[in-house]
Amino acid sequence: MSEQTQEFRIERDSLGEVLVPRDALYGAQTQRAVINFPVSGLKPWRAFIWSMAAIKRAAADVHRDLGLLGEQQADAISAAAAEVMNGLWDAHFVVDPFQAGAGTSHNMNINEVIANRASVLLGGSLGEYRVHPNDHVNMSQSTNDTIPTAIRLGCLWRLDELDQALVRLTDALRQKSIEFDGIVKSGRTHLQDAVPVRLGQEFGAYARAVERDRERILRSAEGLRRLGIGGTATGSGLNAPPDYSARMARRLSELTGLSLYPADDLFEAMQSMADAADFSASLRTLAITLIRIANDFRLLSSGPTTGLDEIRLPAVQPGSSIMPGKVNPVMAEMLDMAMFHVIGCDTTVNLAAQAGQLELNVMMPIIAHNLFEAMQVTIGAVNAFTDKCVVGIRANREKAEGWLAKNTILVTAMNPVIGYAAGAALVKEALNRNMTIQDLALEKARQGTLKRTTGEPLTEADVTATFRDLRKFTEGGMVGTGGGG
């Protein structure tokens, strides 16, 4: 016996003989895909493997109940699919996501793994196929309906995990908004000084923004619950029993614990990837929000001696290989990079979703890969950012309030009394003389040169009262809700 025949077994498909690794659960068509598409070295995400296995398990159960599949074969398929769902055979899913269109190689990979494993459970050997990958595991199915169904199931499978990550981040930001609510600081627009805000109001706004994005994600996920399974090729339902679609949605709901129902138009479910694109867009919107928050954290913690230094981020690792003592905002930087990647995934999903033609979108493998990758990266990045950054943020009250005292735009509070033009002149002079606006206004009031719009002079008491009222206005919560409320 040659060394090659010891390492491989011979399998056959419609194109002829194929050498398959001796212990592989997959078969000829998967091996052809491995040979033909050595592109990225990437493998399917667990969410995709789980979803495809759930479909095959549900199909076996439905076919057994309908009397279309023998009980022994159906039970073996169901048992093998359950093992795949539980992660026992992940190493045997080897097809690159950059492959033949629509995902036939993915579909055959799962069909062959389950068929071989079911055959072994029935006392057979690998490649014997007492359970056939096409005739039995793929009964009443097509790549056209299994792959888009798996995309929907996989996203829903991880939805709770993503949701909890966003809830934790929202709660952490809101807790900081409460903790920082007593710190009045300079607001900034155009990166320039603006009217006062509370640090708690800034963090409360961050919390609300993440909360809004979470609502968008949950809303878009509802569209993923309608399944096109049963449409087989093109949505026609060819070779599927009349009530197969409804039975499959019901059985998948039972197996997965997800709320699922049949699509009202199986042809649309084959043609359109709009639901996937909508869900991807909600992840992109979250990414935009998180990038903005991460960049704000980087600005607010900049310095510390030569920057804003209004907040202090937790020091989680040294920031330089050459500059001793340097600490960088590494978790915010990580979140930026992760969310850039998520936006890239969404761009791929968008391009692939619009590339569908006539009765099928053949770009589904890369839609699946990028959606599941975007969810993986988002969940991991958000949890790390929450745990390693947000919960440990400290406010630098002295620096925040110190910047506020130097903020010449506080003159805005005097606009109703002295007018816009006079206020602008005060700002210019305060900057030239390196004075606070309040000190300059008091000086001019003592000199009798600070006038109301009516021409009457302003007193020092008037100036003091105006700035006191401004602080009360800010502390009283009238500038936004603050406190995350």
Give the H or E element holding residue 12.
strand 8-13
- Between CA 213 and CA 220, with CA 217 as vertex, the angle to 5 degrees is 135
Please state, as a whole number, how many other Cβ atoms lie within 10 Å of the Cβ of residue 457: 13
Measured distance CA(282)–CA(264) in Å, rounded: 24
Q: Which of 40, 125, 259, 320 is catalytic?
A: 320
**Catalytic annotation present for 142:** no
Please answer whether residues 107 and 52 qualify as being in contact, where contact means their C-beta atoms are separated by less than 8 angstroms.
yes
For 395, the 3-state DSSP assignment is: strand
Residues 6+ apart with CB under 8 A from 54: 81, 85, 153, 252, 255, 256
Measured distance CA(43)–CA(285) in Å, rounded: 27
Please answer whether residues 235 and 268 qualify as being in contact, where contact means their C-beta atoms are separated by less than 8 angstroms.
yes
Largest CA distance in the chain: 110
Measured distance CA(473)–CA(197) in Å, rounded: 10
Dihedral of the CA atoms 377, 378, 379, 384 (nearest 10)? Answer: 90
Could you tell me whether strands 184-189 and 16-21 are parallel, antiparallel, or unpaired per DSSP bridges?
unpaired
Residues 6+ apart with CB under 8 A from 192: 409
Catalytic residue numbers read 320
